[in-house]
A and B are shown apart, each in its own frame.
Chain A
Amino acid sequence: MDIFLQQLINGIVLGAIYALVALGYTMVYGILGLINFAHGEVVMIGAMVALAVIQLLIGSGVPLPGPLIAAVGLAAAIPVCMALGYSIERIAYRPLRQAPRLAALITAIGMSIVLQNAAMLVWGRQYHSFPTLLPAAPHDFAGATVNELQLFIVVLAALIMVGLLWLVHRTRLGRAMRATSQNPEVAGLMGVNVNSVISLTFVIGSALAAVAGIMVAAYYGVAHYFMGFMLGLKAFTAAVLGGIGNIAGAMLGGLLLGVIESLGAGYIGPLTGGFLGSHYQDVFAFLVLILVLVFRPSGLLGERVADRT
């Protein structure tokens, strides 16, 4: 079996999920210059809502095929997360739009804590198992194993990202988003409804978060109320790695981070002669964050916000 190839596959699947979440951070940052730390919790809520619906469907005893159940779960989670994303912006960030940036940042962290604890009250503290709905049987691929779920995650993530690029670069809404990101005041003067563009950005980012939440829960087979925290931090790192505010950067950063983490965890033990073990897996993301901030603060592809005064 080819270990390197297997670790690479593990990393790409993980990276595809990071990229989806990173897009949410980067889109909001690109437009508002705000780091929406509650985004990770939206991912968690997406997974939890989908899980609740899926459990209800399975519990109802109606013999539905697994993929259909998963699709219904997804269809339920996306609008819930969209509404949540909209409300977060409306309630927590819009009143503070003219306030100093630090105020908005603290509000974001507060929002994250509120959502996390609300989820704990609703769904309890324990780990919930996420049922296997898509075939997860391993297939041999050039000496490594892949399963349909992994393929599905990568393909769906890629489709969504292509769709998003198309939306931002080829549609009226995309043009309005880009205009708002360059200069909200002037965009407003040119007839762009800045408030609705910002709301839509949150709504789109939250829809991506819902998809990512279900992917992550299905991939690892578990969902819990604080799953969004670490995932959010890592996706934020991915966004910074690619250049925060830059949509292509978030995709690249996500993929790279997933691969770095996977290869890092796989090879750190042998490379350091057992001095550092694979439990340092989570350290890689933050090591990357520090290195990027020190050596290339604008990220690999550069911040989009750089041209904004």
Chain B
Amino acid sequence: MNRVSVNGTGWCLVLALLLAGCGQQSPSSGSVIRIGQVSPLTGPQAHLGKDNDNGARLAIDEMNARGLTIGGVKVKFELVSEDDQADPKTGTIVAQKLVDAKVAGVIGHLNSGTTIPASKIYHDAGIPQVSPSATNPKYTQQGYKGAFRVMANDVQQGKVLGEYAVAKLGAKRIAIIDDRTAYGQGLADEFEKAAKASGATIVGREYTTDKATDFRSILTNAKARQPDLLFYGGMDSQAGPMAAQMRSLGINARLLGGDGAQSQEFIKLAGAAADGVVASSPGVPLEKMPGGKSFADRYTAKYGQIQIYAPYAYDAAMSLIEAMVKANSAAPAKYLPELAKTSRQGVSGPIAFDDKGDLKNGPITLYVVKGGKWNALETVGGAAAAAEKK
């Protein structure tokens, strides 16, 4: 699709071969423990991918600074970051590359569409994987013991969004647009179910892609059906321009989105049209988390503004490392049981996994844009109660 990506893939293969060669010489069981990180580092979602990369890197740097000992040896963690271009094909290529590089665990991928096909490769190689942000339910429904996520899935999020749209935003006629990715489509489907169950009418369903910038045709179609709310299942790089184009077509319906739209980038891209847009994000507002404020300070000092998933990538990395420390081994088979038993206070919320690898009681918070900032409206879900208990 993209000339650069074709080129990039070619080089990836070459690099994969080179790295495979290196991997044999220095297996990660020595003093260096390699941890993989995969997200789109080029393309429309590169800002989010870099955000994940930075989040994981912060965790690794902090742990290295502590000088941990695993299995009696002083260890150094090394982050091996790969670019999957948010493309499922490339996702599997770089997954194989990480397997060949003998990483002890993987943080990623960012998108559901890349995480699901890649998870088979990690599973076959016995490498545990913690995704910071893949929310499609299928990811953990494949029966892979090593597949975890530190974020509520789309079934939970879509349900909260659908109910909220009808009950609190008073939506009766809803138009839905999604980007046909595993994430966007999955979230939109769950949203549709929940909104219908709550009594709203779905007046139209339109589709775009995760690389599009022109939404006027589909918005024109949606406008003709006179919706009072428009739900978008997809990422901020589309949601932002979409909000602006809605405004210029004279559509007054409110725009509602999922976690992919709940970023600073969205506000920048939508400009004046961002005001009043509502979006959800799994987790609790950072400032409400114990340690959240401190994380935000440490992160911004080093890398600047947090986009969306950096706290989750940080939590994913910390969960992996903590499991290794507890098991006193970086061998996947040894620390995997510890990872499954994880129970810790992360910066995005309390982290514990159910038997499928989903986040237990994942809370979901709704935000609205007011005066160029996301303001928390309310938090729905179990961990809000858990946070209150503290």
Contacts and interface: CB of A to CB of B under 8 A. Distances in A.
Contacts of B223: 1, 6
A145 B220 CA distance: 10
Nearest to B177: A278
A259 B218 CA distance: 14
B26 interface: no
Given A3-B224, A136-B247, A279-B208, A129 B240 contact: yes
A109 B3 CA distance: 9
Interface of A: 1, 3, 6-7, 10, 14, 109, 112-113, 116-117, 120, 124-127, 129, 131-132, 136-138, 140, 145, 147, 149, 220-222, 224, 226-227, 229-230, 261-263, 265-266, 269, 277-279, 281-282
A7 B224 CA distance: 11
Contact of A220 (B213, B220, B265, B272): B213
A10 B224 CA distance: 15
Interface stretch (B43-51, B59-67, B193-201, B319-327): B43-51
B4 A227 contact: no
B220 to A, nearest CB: 5
Contacts of A221: 240-241, 244-245, 269-271
Residue from A126, A277, A282 having most chain B Cβ neighbours under 10 A: A126
23 contacts: A113-B3, A113-B4, A113-B7, A116-B3, A124-B47, A125-B47, A136-B248, A138-B247, A140-B250, A145-B250, A220-B245, A221-B244, A222-B213, A222-B237, A222-B241, A222-B269, A224-B44, A262-B217, A263-B217, A265-B217, A277-B180, A277-B207, A281-B212
Nearest to A137: B248
Nearest to B209: A279
Interface in B30-87: 41-44, 46-47, 50
A10 B42 contact: no
Contacts of B24: none
A126 B46 contact: yes
B25 interface: no
A241 to B, nearest CB: 19
B2 A226 contact: yes
A227 B214 CA distance: 12
Contacts of A265: 217-218
Nearest to B236: A127
A281 B206 CA distance: 11
Contacts of A269: 206-207, 221
B4 A125 contact: no
A139 to B, nearest CB: 9
Residue from B46, B217, B271 having most chain A Cβ neighbours under 10 A: B217
Contacts of A127: 44, 47, 237, 240-241, 265, 269
A218 B78 CA distance: 43
Given A124-B47, A140-B250, 9 more contacts: A1-B223, A10-B216, A125-B41, A137-B248, A138-B247, A222-B240, A266-B221, A269-B221, A278-B206
A14 B214 contact: yes
Residue from B2, B44, B250 having most chain A Cβ neighbours under 10 A: B250
B50 A10 contact: no
B4 A117 contact: yes
A113 B212 CA distance: 20
6 shortest A-B CB distances, which residue pairs? Answer: A125-B46, A138-B250, A265-B217, A277-B207, A126-B47, A279-B207
Interface in B215-229: 216-218, 220-221, 223-224
A281 B208 contact: yes
B15 interface: no
A7 B213 contact: no
Given A125-B42, A125-B46, A126-B47, A278 B217 contact: yes
A116 B213 contact: no
B214 A138 contact: no
B50 A125 contact: yes
B268 interface: yes
Nearest to B213: A220
Contacts of A149: 248
B268 A7 contact: no
A308 to B, nearest CB: 29
Contacts of B180: 277, 279
